[in-house]
Amino acid sequence: MKKLFVVLLCLAAMVGTLTGCSSNASNNTDNAVYTFADTVDWDGQYDVVVVGFGGAGAVAAVSAAEEGAKVLLVEKAPEGHEGGNTRYCGQLFAYGNGNEEATYEYYKALAADHEIPEAMLKVFTQGVAHLAETIAEDYGADRNTMFDWTGVSPNLTMSPEYPEFEGSESISIVSLSEAYGTGELWEMLRTRVAESSESIDVWFESPAVSLIQDPVTKTIVGVEIERQGETVNIQATNGVVLATGGFENNPEMTETYLGLKQVAPVGTLYNTGDGVRMAMEAGADLWHMEVHEGIAWGFAIKGAEGTRARGAVSPYGSVVLVGKDGDRFQREDETLRHGHIYHAGSWASIDFPEKSFYVVSSAKYETEIKPLLAEDMLPNVYSGETIEELAVNAGMNPETLANTVTKFNNYAATGVDIEHDRAAFSMAPITEGPFYAVEVIPMMLNTQGGPRRNENAEILDTEGNPIPHLYSAGELGGITSNQYQGGSNIAECFIFGKIAGKNAAAEKDALPAYEPLKKVDSELTFTPGAVTDLNQEEGFDVNSVELKENEYLGIGSGGMGGDIVVKVTMDGDSIVNIEVVHHEETEGIGTPAIDSLPQAIIDAQSTEVDIVSGATMTSKALIAAVQNALEKIGK
């Protein structure tokens, strides 16, 4: 950083001194002219640098490589945690069934009077209209096995999410197969990056710190990156793509832009607003900073900061949702559209109070909530033998909470909720103590705000001009400005990721030259193919596993981190032990399946057991591994 700072100070002193000015500057002893990039002490050089290895970053890197570019793809997360929100989402993409006009009208209605330039909206909606075919063509996915969720499941009401809007009849959400949340779309993208290793180098645990920018022309010429404890300057000769996702894991930003001090992210923990910050430092304009998407009933049990969403409490039965004063503020069983609630003719993000609690009866707590509690949640659970005592312990107004519960019990008895119109079947009186209050916080799927971009995926400055050589894709400055259609973020990863990668890879005009600065002869350590973190391991050696009598090895593919290897011990026809000898599943995401499924299979003496919620890919791979071992003994 120090070497770059010196260069910037020198250059700042000569802003405006371009080729053609006096050539006898005292610090230019060779009487030559150089571009700003020539004066930076570079540690490496690529045609394109893509920041963020999620869905958008993967597509951008592949797109740039297909244009002939040598690409560096950097990711702040460690291997096994890359993928951004694409890794954790339902793996669904929005699709317009080939109808460009209807798709355009539908997304125009979603935006309502919120700003989306027509040129950008057209590029996006044309992409959505044909996305299934595009993914099949670009990534070899089987179009015939893709699955349209329209009308299939009452729990997937996103196909379309706004059926009342013009053009909705053409909108679907589609997955690569008849599966939901399995991670297969992410695996397809990750595999494609790995297969492009001749053109794409990948660095994990290598966060981008700042963009390196010509202070005169504002051209982005490279990226400053933290790599293994050192800061390195990597030149991007043609372009930089920011695909760092949103800021849902940055409490300062969520409080500033959303008014929410702590949220429970559903996806990655690594979206901390780095792209927003770097783009702002480069002079970018921002848009859609207040737009965010939720999920389920909107709340998760409050735990420690920096943890993913856990403990989604069912809003049915003997339960009410109250603010810190003890009063109800919304219908508990409200059908939400990605965290949006119907209000005055449109769907808007929930107006969350400063504090929120689910107040429940003893039975509701013991059977449904207590099993969800982790140790870091326990400080946010309060109890009392009476409603008034509970209110005092939780910091609520005793009179208000008692009045709230009394009214709710009357609604439950009559089946008519005159305050919030909650469905009769969803209500049961809160009469059985001790009573509990569980503090909950907003569940956050993602934020949409970030640097403003145009239809060419170029990031724009505050005057509406493209910042030269700087592009973006995905949730960082997403196109969603108001109401959100499920699958649109994944669609945006493919559509603008492809555009950003292609345009970043394009050959650029030569940078302007300056006289006063002296050229730096850089020693390039990091060049295409020199260093990559992806596919460096030869893989787990199954021959290293020692097998004794009645022990059998099984391998199951399709885990989120790759293959899962198990050792199954038999006693006659009985499974007596299952040991997972190798996996690379994400801690807290896939590992619950690793921890619990082996015993479930032993108890059932069968692989026909329920998958672990939230760990579908891991569950299926582990079950497949056990089945593979059993097949070796004909069981």
Reported as type and span, the H/E element at residue 252 is helix 251-253
Contacts (Cβ under 8 Å, ≥6 apart) of 297: 312, 313, 314, 315, 332, 333, 334, 336
Please write the tens of the pLDDT for every residue from 316-372. Answer: 999 999 999 999 999 999 888 999 988 888 898 888 899 999 999 999 999 999 999
The tens digit of pLDDT for each residue in 209-228 reads 999 999 999 999 999 999 99
Q: What is the pLDDT of residues 558-573, one digit of tens each?
A: 676 667 889 999 888 8
Rg of the chain over all Cα atoms, to the nearest angstrom: 27
Q: What is the largest CA-CA distance in the chain?
A: 92
CB-CB neighbours of 586 under 10 Å: 22
pLDDT for residue 191 is more than 50: yes
pLDDT band at 23 (very low <50, low <70, confident <90, very high): very low
Q: What percent of the chain has pLDDT over 90?
A: 70
Q: Which residue has the tokens 């793809």?
A: 73
* Band of pLDDT at residue 4, cut at 50, 70 and 90: low
Q: Quote the CA–CA distance of 24 and 30 in Å, as a whole number.
A: 9
φ/ψ of residue 203, rounded to 5: -120, 125
| pLDDT at residue 19 in the model | 40
Phi, psi of 193 (to 5 degrees): -60, -45
User: What pLDDT, on a 0 to 100 scale, did the predictor assign at position 296?
Assistant: 67
The one-letter code for the residue type at 630 is L
Range 591-618 average pLDDT? 86
pLDDT tier, 13 (very low <50, low <70, confident <90, very high otherwise): very low
Closest CA to 86 of 13, 9, 192: 192
Cβ neighbours for 265, distance < 8 A, ≥ 6 positions apart = 248, 249, 271, 308, 309, 444
**Res. 170: pLDDT tops 80:** yes
Average pLDDT in the chain? 90
Query: Residue 571: which residues within 8 A CB-CB, separation 6 or more?
Result: 550
Alpha carbons 579 and 347: distance in angstroms, whole number = 49
Report the distance separating Cα 161 and Cα 153, nearest Å: 13
Q: Which domains does the chain have, with CATH numbers?
A: 2-88+184-291+447-514 (3.50.50.60), 93-175 (no CATH), 295-444 (3.90.700.10), 542-631 (3.90.1010.20)
Tens digits of per-residue pLDDT, 525-537?
999 989 898 865 5
**139: number of Cβ within 10 Å:** 16
pLDDT digits (tens, 9 = 90+) for 101-154: 999 999 999 999 998 999 999 999 999 999 999 999 999 999 999 999 998 866
3-state helix, strand, coil in the chain (%, to 5): 30, 25, 45
pLDDT classification of 202: cutoffs 50, 70, 90: very high
Report CA dihedral (26, 31, 36, 40) to the nearest 10 degrees: -80
Q: What's 135-198 look like in SS3?
A: HHHHHCCCHHHCEECCCCCCCCCCCCCCCCCCCHHHCEEEECCCCCCCCHHHHHHHHHHHHCCC
pLDDT attached to residue 635: 59
pLDDT at 164: 94
Give which of 54, 37, 75 is closest to 212, Cα–Cα: 37
d(Cα 317, Cα 340) in Å, to the nearest integer?
23
CB 361 within 8 A of CB 318: yes
